[in-house]
Amino acid sequence: MPPALPYQTEPPFTHGQAPATGVLLCNLGTPDEPTPDAVRRYLREFLGDPRVVEIPRAVWLPLLHGVILPLRSAKSAAKYATIWTPEGSPLKVWTERQAKLLQGWLGEAGHRVLVRYAMRYGTPSIASQLDALKAAGATRILVLSAYPQYSGTTTASVVDEVASWSRRIRHVPELRFVNRYHDDRGYIEALARRIETHWRQHGRPDHLVLSFHGVPERTLKLGDPYHCECQATGRLLAARLGLAPGSWTLSFQSRFGKAKWLEPYTQPTLVALARRGVARVDVACPGFTSDCLETLEEIAQEGRDAFLAAGGKAFHFIPCLNADAAWIRALGEITARHLAGWPTQLPADPQALAAARDRALATGAAR
């Protein structure tokens, strides 16, 4: 059970006015159930997106429908079953919670906005939530992608989906996008505190691995900034933590298919560290703002097994930012900066607002 919400999460619609501004927090998406059928529906939509798999359609679609979906759906469903919670898929549970907390934080900061969340693949869809924001009166919408590092495979696909929604709307709201925050001070600080809190409770490791989701290496050569933004996040985080060179490694996980992806790959990195005599490794996944299949199963289960089987003695997975109070504050500040110039501010005493916000943060202690 996640802890109680530290904020009042009802939108602060005082003065009887409808909100004119909406915020849509978009994450990747996840199956509705951990069953082969639901996973197949999700993977069909996800892997059918030309932003995700950049292979000519005539080659890829027969492979996807004839081989990948029949083989992968059941295997993947079995993995999802190991991380499923009574409330559903962790990715969706955390994203929904972040949207509620963001609503509360922005309200405490005096922004009269309506926050919703959506999934790029699966439910609730981006189109349904844009419809809902528009129905609630939003004439301006800020689309906030949950990915800290921009990639054509993820962030651009959210932009595509918003654009395709707008094609069927007569009165299109003003639209803004937050496409990245890989070097945002608040984001880096929240990550650093998360790691330091773990180290205060469990001691320090011999080595820290920062594992990011991979993409095909070809995307880097085609100009995708993802690799560089991951490296920037890693450097900033290592500097903030005061890590010595050689005491941490940045790696890429979740390789799919036979093509070369960004290297070094996470699992071989963990095995090499164990073989080199590293007794304890900690792994954090700064590119994932919510725990999900890729962190809870691929890292915390498969990564652990690989490290220990190769002779490692202790493996710690450091949970993602999820509903961490410093993270919600960072997300709030990122959002507020992008709302600048849009008239969302409630007339209020700034000191009273700051005090209310601090009170809320104090009760939502780091988790």
Residue ranges of the annotated binding site for Fe(2+) are: 213, 294
Residue 91 interacting entry, from Fe ion, ligand L6N33NVT, none, C-beta within 5 to 8 Å by type: ligand L6N33NVT
As a whole number of angstroms, the distance between CA 167 and CA 129 comes to 15
Q: Is position 294 an interface residue for ligand L6N33NVT (rule: CB under 6 A)?
A: yes
Q: Are 144 and 304 in contact (CB under 8 A)?
A: no
If one counts every other C-beta atom within 10 angstroms of the C-beta of residue 169, the result is 12
Strand partners, 280: 314
CB of 104 to ligand L6N33NVT, least distance (A): 24
Q: Is position 44 an interface residue for ligand L6N33NVT (rule: CB under 6 A)?
A: no
Q: Which is nearer to Fe ion, 149 or 344 (CB)?
A: 149
CB of 214 to ligand L6N33NVT, least distance (A): 7
With both helix axes pointing from N to C terminus, report the angle between 126-135 and 155-166 in degrees, rounded to the nearest 10: 50
Q: How many CA atoms lie within 13 A of 333 on its CB side?
A: 14
Residue 89 interacting entry, from Fe ion, ligand L6N33NVT, none, C-beta within 5 to 8 Å by type: ligand L6N33NVT
> Residue ranges for the binding site?
213, 294
Strand partners, 261: 216
| Greatest pairwise CA separation for the chain in angstroms | 65
DSSP, collapsed to helix, strand or coil, labels residue 204 as coil
Name residues contacting Fe ion, limited to 296-335 (CB under 5 A).
298
Q: Which is nearer to Fe ion, 103 or 157 (CB)?
A: 157
Q: Which is nearer to ligand L6N33NVT, 68 or 114 (CB)?
A: 68
Q: Which is nearer to ligand L6N33NVT, 291 or 324 (CB)?
A: 291
| Nearest CA among 2, 4, 21, 24 for reference residue 13 | 21
Contacts with 67 (C-beta within 8 Å, 6 or more apart), sequence order: none
CA dihedral for 249, 180, 321, 50, sign (positive or negative): negative
Q: Is position 153 an interface residue for Fe ion (rule: CB under 5 A)?
A: no
CB of 237 to Fe ion, least distance (A): 21
Contacts with 229 (C-beta within 8 Å, 6 or more apart), sequence order: 148, 149, 150, 180, 182, 183
Binding test (CB under 6 A) with ligand L6N33NVT, winner from 21, 89, 251, 322: 89
As a whole number of angstroms, the distance between CA 12 and CA 347 comes to 12
Strand partners, 248: 208
Q: How many CA atoms lie within 13 A of 289 on its CB side?
A: 31
Binding test (CB under 6 A) with ligand L6N33NVT, winner from 21, 145, 151, 253: 151
- x-or-dash pattern for ligand L6N33NVT, window 46-65, by CB under 6 A? -x----xx------------
Residue 7 interacting entry, from Fe ion, ligand L6N33NVT, none, C-beta within 5 to 8 Å by type: none
Residue 141 DSSP symbol: E
Name residues contacting ligand L6N33NVT, limited to 67-86 (CB under 6 A).
72, 76
CA distances for 293 relative to 34, 39, 288, angstroms: 11, 12, 11
Binding test (CB under 6 A) with ligand L6N33NVT, winner from 41, 116, 120, 213: 213
Q: Is position 28 an interface residue for ligand L6N33NVT (rule: CB under 6 A)?
A: yes
Q: Is position 149 an interface residue for Fe ion (rule: CB under 5 A)?
A: no
Q: Is position 288 an interface residue for ligand L6N33NVT (rule: CB under 6 A)?
A: yes
Q: Is position 102 an interface residue for ligand L6N33NVT (rule: CB under 6 A)?
A: no
Q: Which run of H or E residues covers position 199?
A: helix 185-202
Residues that bind ligand L6N33NVT in the complex, under the rule CB under 6 A:
28, 30, 47, 52-53, 72, 76, 89, 91, 147, 151, 153-154, 213, 215, 226, 254, 256, 287-288, 292-294
